[in-house]
C-alpha cells in the first residue's frame, strides 16, 4: 500500500517511471554532492585563468569583472525556469542534463580569450546550464526526507559542495596552470571530467525513479501533512509581498560570496602582492573552512528541531543572524588591516559566516514549499543571483576607481547587515499556501 507521500510524488511521474524502484538515497546524496563540487569548481576556476590572462593579455580589473559577471547573467535568466524544470522533470534527469550542458561550455571557454564577446558568451551559457542544478538537489531532499529534524544534515552536505567546490576549482586550477603554463588546460580538464561524470550518472540512474521517503519515515504525521500541501501558482512566488523579505535576505549571500569567489586570487596577488600560485592555494583555504561550517550548521539545525526549538523559525533564523554577524565583523577587519596574514585569517572566518548564513535559506524552501521546493528555490536564487551578477563588476569598478579593495568590502558588509535584519524581522516561516493566502486576503481587505 502506498503512503500519501508516495502517491503525491508518483502522481507527477509518467507510468513508466512510476513502476520503477526509487533510486538509492545515499547514492543520490553522494552524487549530488560531487556534482555540486564540480559545479562550483567550474565557476571559480575561471578566476585563476583570468588572473593569468590579466598579465598576458592586459585585461583590466573592469574587464575581468565583466567576464566574471557574464556567468551570472545566464544563471540569472534561467534560474526561475530552472527551479520549475527541476520540480517537473525530477532530480535524476536534471542532474544529468545540466552537468553535461555546463561541462561542454567549460570545455569551449579557452577557444579565443582575446575575443571578449565570445569568451563572455561561453560564460553566459555556462551559467544558463548550471541554473537548474541546485534547485534540483534541494528538491531531492524535500521529496525524500519529510522530517525537519533530519533534513538539515542532508541539505547541508549536498549544498556544502558550494564551499568545497571553489576550493577545488582554484586549487587544482593553480596546479594545472603551474604544471602546463597555460590556462587552456584548466578548462580541458574540468570540462572532460563533467562530461564523463554526467554520462556515468545517467547510465546508472535511468533505470530508477526519483527518491521518495521509505518505511516509517513515510508514515509520520509530518510526512502526510507535507504531502497534502496544495501547490500555489508559480507567479505568486514573485508577486506575493510576504516572500519579499525572504528574497531580500538571500540577495546578500551571493553578492558577498561572489566577491570572494571571483576576486580573491586577484585581491591577494594585486592588492596584497602574493605570488599567483601561492594566492591560488590561499584562495582555497576559506572555502575548505566554509565546507566544514556548512555541515556543522546542518546538523545543528537538526538538533534545534529535535529539541523543539522551532518557534518563530528559531532553528533557521538563529543561524542566519550568526552568519551575518560573523561575516560583517571579520570582513570589516580584513578590509581595514595592514596585515596580510590577519586579512587572510579574517577572510577564512568570513567564509564560515557565509556558510552559516546560506544553509538555512535552502532549508526554509523545504519547510514552506515541500511540493514546490525547486520552484521556490529557483525564484529565491534568481534574486540572489541579481546580487552575484552585480557584485563582481561593481567591485571591480570601485576597486579600479579607488585603487584599493576596501570600499567594495565595506559595501558588502552594509548589504549583508540590512538584508539579514530585513529577513529575520519581517519573514514568517509557515506553509507557502498560507503565506500567499494571507497576503492575498489582506490585499482584498485593503481594496
Note the pLDDT tens digit of each residue in 180-229: 989 999 999 999 999 999 999 999 999 999 988 877 777 788 888 888 88
Percent of the chain with pLDDT over 70: 89
pLDDT in tens, 25-81: 999 999 999 999 999 899 888 888 888 888 888 887 778 878 877 887 888 889 889
More reliable by pLDDT, 208 or 442: 208
Higher pLDDT, 396 or 206: 206
Positive or negative CA dihedral for 277, 282, 286, 292?
positive
Q: What is the pLDDT of residue 283?
A: 65
| pTM of the predicted structure, to 2 decimals | 0.84
Check: CB of residue 419 under 8 Å from CB of residue 252: yes
pLDDT for 270 equals: 65
**According to the model, what pLDDT value does residue 6 have?**
44
pLDDT mean over 326-334: 93
Q: Give the model's pLDDT for residue 7.
A: 39
Residue among 227, 201, 195 at smallest CA distance from 92: 201
Q: What average pLDDT does the chain have? A: 86
Structure confidence at residue 257 (pLDDT): 85
pLDDT at 443 over 50: no
Span 333-351, mean pLDDT? 85
Phi/psi of residue 19, each to 5°?
A: -90, -10
pLDDT band at 263 (very low <50, low <70, confident <90, very high): low
Q: What is the pLDDT of residue 403?
A: 77
Q: What is the pLDDT of residue 438?
A: 58
Q: What is the C-alpha separation between 34 and 17, in angstroms, rounded?
A: 25
Cα angle 334-339-344, degrees, rounded to a multiple of 5? 50
pLDDT for the residue 122: 92
Residue 12's pLDDT is 43
Model confidence at 83: pLDDT above 60: yes
Q: What percent of the chain has pLDDT over 90?
A: 52
Asked if residue 445 has pLDDT above 70, the reply is: no
Residues 6+ apart with CB under 8 A from 70: 119, 120, 121, 123, 124, 127
Q: pLDDT value at position 28?
A: 93
- Taken in order of first residue, the domains within the chain and their CATH numbers are 17-439 (1.20.1250.20)
The answer, yes or no, to whether residue 304 has pLDDT greater than 90, is yes
Nine cell digits for residue 126: 555556462
Amino acid at each position: 500500500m502506498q503512503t500519501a507521500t508516495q502517491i503525491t510524488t508518483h502522481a507527477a511521474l509518467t507510468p513508466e517511471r512510476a513502476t520503477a524502484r526509487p533510486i538509492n538515497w545515499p547514492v543520490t546524496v553522494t552524487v549530488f554532492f560531487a556534482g555540486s563540487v564540480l559545479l562550483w569548481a567550474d565557476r571559480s576556476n575561471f578566476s585563476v585563468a583570468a588572473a593569468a590572462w590579466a598579465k598576458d593579455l592586459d585585461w583590466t580589473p573592469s574587464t575581468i569583472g565583466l567576464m566574471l559577471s557574464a556567468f551570472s547573467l545566464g544563471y540569472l535568466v534561467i534560474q526561475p525556469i530552472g527551479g520549475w524544470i527541476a520540480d517537473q522533470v525530477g532530480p535524476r534527469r536534471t542532474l544529468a542534463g545540466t552537468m553535461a550542458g555546463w561541462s561542454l561550455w567549460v570545455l569551449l571557454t579557452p577557444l579565443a580569450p582575446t575575443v571578449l564577446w565570445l569568451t563572455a558568451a561561453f560564460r553566459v551559457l555556462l551559467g544558463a546550464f548550471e541554473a537548474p542544478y541546485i534547485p534540483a538537489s534541494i528538491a531531492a531532499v524535500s521529496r525524500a526526507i519529510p522530517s525537519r529534524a533530519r533534513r538539515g544534515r542532508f541539505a547541508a552536505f549536498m549544498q556544502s559542495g558550494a564551499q568545497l567546490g571553489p576550493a577545488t576549482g582554484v586549487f587544482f586550477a593553480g596546479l594545472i596552470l603551474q604544471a602546463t603554463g597555460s590556462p587552456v588546460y584548466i578548462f580541458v580538464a574540468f570540462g572532460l571530467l563533467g562530461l564523463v561524470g554526467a554520462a556515468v550518472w545517467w547510465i546508472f540512474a535511468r533505470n530508477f525513479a526519483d527518491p521518495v521517503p521509505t518505511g516509517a519515515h513515510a508514515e509520520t504525521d509530518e510526512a502526510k501533512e507535507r504531502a497534502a500541501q496544495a501547490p500555489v501558482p508559480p507567479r505568486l512566488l514573485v508577486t506575493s509581498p510576504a516572500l519579499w523579505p525572504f528574497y531580500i535576505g538571500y540577495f546578500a549571500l551571493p553578492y558577498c560570496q561572489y566577491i570572494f569567489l571571483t576576486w580573491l586570487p586577484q585581491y591577494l596577488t594585486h592588492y596584497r602582492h602574493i605570488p599567483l600560485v601561492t594566492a591560488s592555494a590561499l584562495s582555497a583555504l576559506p572555502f575548505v573552512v566554509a565546507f566544514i561550517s556548512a555541515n556543522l550548521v546542518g546538523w545543528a539545525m537538526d538538533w534545534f528541531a529535535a529539541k523543539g526549538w522551532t518557534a518563530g523559525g528559531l532553528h533557521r533564523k538563529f543561524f542566519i543572524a550568526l552568519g551575518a554577524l560573523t561575516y560583517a565583523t571579520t570582513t570589516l577587519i580584513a578590509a581595514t588591516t595592514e596585515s596580510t596574514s590577519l586579512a587572510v585569517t579574517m577572510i577564512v572566518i568570513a567564509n564560515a559566516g557565509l556558510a552559516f548564513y546560506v544553509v538555512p535559506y535552502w532549508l526554509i524552501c523545504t519547510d514552506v514549499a515541500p511540493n514546490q521546493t525547486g520552484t521556490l528555490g529557483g525564484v529565491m536564487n534568481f534574486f540572489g543571483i541579481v546580487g552575484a551578477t552585480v557584485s563582481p563588476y561593481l567591485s571591480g569598478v570601485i576597486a579600479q576607481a579607488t585603487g584599493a579593495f576596501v570600499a567594495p568590502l565595506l559595501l558588502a558588509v552594509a548589504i549583508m547587515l540590512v538584508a539579514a535584519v530585513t529577513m529575520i524581522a519581517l519573514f514568517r516561516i509557515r506553509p507557502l499556501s498560507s503565506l500567499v493566502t494571507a497576503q492575498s486576503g489582506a490585499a482584498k481587505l485593503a481594496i
